[in-house]
Amino acid sequence: MKIKACLELMRFHFHASFITVVLGALLFTPHITTQLIYSILLCYITFNVFIYGGLYTFNDIIDAKEDSRHPIKKHRPIPSGRINVRSAAIFSIL
């Protein structure tokens, strides 16, 4: 698998909005501990990176045919052929 294509499938530029949730959790917690920070980071990584990344990839698999005809989306990894559907499906599960 091509790592750059896989990372692009995860759409990290959409993940920035979740940082506000992390900051909110930290701002409204009376006693911030190292354990709490680790828990919040683990939650961020689990939900934001892995789950959303997998869902974005799955969505790209489903929409690949339509995306190949779209002037902007045709440059995404699956429609452009930088990664095949099978590899993207395996990546979305991992």
Question: Residue 1 pLDDT more than 70?
Answer: no
Q: In sequence order, what are the residues at sequence separation of 6 or more whose Cβ sits closer than 8 angstroms to the Cβ of residue 49?
A: 10, 15
* DSSP, res 10: T
Count the neighbouring beta carbons within 10 Å of the beta carbon of residue 27. 8
Q: In sequence order, what are the residues at sequence separation of 6 or more whose Cβ sits closer than 8 angstroms to the Cβ of residue 54?
A: 92, 93
Identify the pLDDT of residue 60.
Answer: 94
* Domain range for 83: 3-93
Q: What tens digit of pLDDT does each residue of 34-90 get?
A: 888 888 888 888 887 788 888 999 999 999 999 999 999 999 999 999 999 999 999
Domain count, the chain: 1
The model carries a pTM of 0.73
Identify the pLDDT of residue 75.
Answer: 93
The one-letter amino acid at 29: T
Q: In sequence order, what are the residues at sequence separation of 6 or more whose Cβ sits closer than 8 angstroms to the Cβ of residue 88?
A: 6, 9, 57, 60, 61, 77, 78
